[in-house]
Amino acid sequence: MADILKGYPVSLEVPIAWGEMDAMGHVNNIVYFRYFESARIAYFEKMGLIDYMKETGIGPILATTSCRFRIPLTYPDSVLIGAKVVSVEDDRFVMNYIVVSKKHRKPAAEGEGVIVAFDYRGGKKVPVPEVLKQKVLEIERSGTATPARRLNS
């Protein structure tokens, strides 16, 4: 399955929890957004963004997010979640996600998030700092999926 995650420089594995399923017998749609969030935070950690935010007060805020569901997920299974940045602009960057079922060995969902820089001390949107743009470029140039960590429910 490494070939599916090729091009996603950050990835993690998450076991599906029984409680994530809904009345229809599959993982509820909101859970996919939690998967995306976990991958996004792992990416931010790899960037050093959490520490940068503590120092400067400037950090990320999610402007929009979307998900395309491919196949239903069910318990028991684990998913591999990948994250990559596909564009960086002055005021935002766009992150793509993939959720891969280990049981089915194929993508269960794909998503996108638009992230803007926000000055939490000043309470306003700001341009993406150059140092953060450079960190994204460094991570994306690495080109291979590096497991961030395994999350347990």
> Which residue from 149, 144, 119, 148 is spatially nearest to 132, judged by alpha carbons?
119
Q: What is the pTM of this model?
A: 0.91
In this structure, are residues 142 and 9 in contact, taking their beta carbons and an 8 Å threshold? Answer: yes
Kindly list the structural domains of the chain, giving each domain's residue range(s) and its CATH number in brackets, ordered by start: 10-150 (3.10.129.10)
Give Cα separations from 120 to 43, 54, 75, 90, 152 (angstroms). 20, 10, 39, 18, 30
Q: What percent of the chain has pLDDT over 70?
A: 93
Tokens of 103: 């049981």
Tokens of 45: 């950690």
> Which residue from 42, 14, 40 is spatially nearest to 151, judged by alpha carbons?
14
In this structure, are residues 27 and 91 in contact, taking their beta carbons and an 8 Å threshold? Answer: no
Q: Which residue has the tokens 């402007």?
A: 63
Check whether 150 has a pLDDT greater than 70.
no
In this structure, are residues 35 and 98 in contact, taking their beta carbons and an 8 Å threshold? Answer: no
In which band, very low, low, confident or very high, does the pLDDT at 142 lie, cut at 50, 70 and 90?
confident
Q: Which amino acid would we find at residue 29?
A: N
